[in-house]
Amino acid sequence: MTDDPYRYPGTSILRNLLGFRIQSELDRVERLLVQLRIEEGTPSGKFDLAHLQAIHRHLFQDIFDWAGEVRRVEISKGGSQFQFRQFISTGMADVHKRLAAAKFLQGLRRDQFAEKAGEIIGDVNYVHPFREGNGRTQLEYLRQLADQAGHDFSAAKLDPAQWLLASRSAHRGEYKLMSAAIRSALEGKEGEVVNP
């Protein structure tokens, strides 16, 4: 992206409130600050776009002045184009509608929850509403969704390589790897029905 307004001119470094111009330094401090914000607790919501924006704003408020704002540029990764920005609102509205129709995945066994959540998170990832920080925002969104449905989700149990493969597969509309990754990060017995 040559005309990316989010970057310092002539660099691949995202403009940041901390003034870092070296990617490794920005990455290191960003990880630390985001982890501190996660430990504070993240905003709850209705699992819609506004909820996702509130989580992103909370996590990245110390790093980017655009934290919580929907991106103004098109983005892709590894040759895969994410949702065109003019359809971000529509994409998240569809996700929310499906979640509401499925009663926010409550009352499902662990394996059922993982299967349905894999489709939801795969599609949230495709929408990719933010210029940076989508993955960590999605994991907090997923943790809250699991918690509301009575399941314990631990992102620390995810294998990063498996999660990346699952994200790429979900981008093509294939959700089995995403569901398997989510299932591996859930606590409890496989067939257990949870009543929150």
What pLDDT, on the 0 to 100 scale, is given for residue 192? 52
> What value does the mean pLDDT of the chain take?
94
DSSP element (H, E) containing 161: helix 160-171
Structural contact between residues 91 and 128, judged by C-beta atoms closer than 8 angstroms: no
Which residues 6+ apart lie within 8 Å of 81 measured at CB? Answer: 74
Q: How far is CA 132 from the centre of its chain?
A: 10
User: Distance between CA atoms of 59 and 62, rounded to whole angstroms?
Assistant: 8
Higher per-residue pLDDT: 79 or 57: 57
What pLDDT, on the 0 to 100 scale, is given for residue 46? 97
Q: What is the arithmetic mean of pLDDT over 67-71?
A: 98
Structure tokens at 54: 């509130």
Q: What is the arithmetic mean of pLDDT over 137-142?
A: 98
Structure tokens at 39: 């430990």
User: Distance between CA atoms of 161 and 48, rounded to whole angstroms?
Assistant: 28
Q: What is the arithmetic mean of pLDDT over 60-87?
A: 95
Quickly count: other Cβ atoms within 10 Å of residue 94's Cβ.
13
Q: What is the arithmetic mean of pLDDT over 25-46?
A: 97
Q: What is the arithmetic mean of pLDDT over 12-36?
A: 97
All structural domains of the chain with their residue ranges = 23-184
pTM for this structure? 0.93
Quickly count: other Cβ atoms within 10 Å of residue 60's Cβ.
24
DSSP element (H, E) containing 80: strand 80-81
pLDDT, tens only, 77-128: 888 899 999 999 999 999 999 999 999 999 999 999 999 999 999 999 999 9
What pLDDT, on the 0 to 100 scale, is given for residue 3? 79
CATH 3.40.30.10 fits domain 23-184: no
Conformation bin of residue 79: beta by default, left when phi > 0, alpha when psi is -120 to 50: left
Position 55 pLDDT exceeds 90: yes
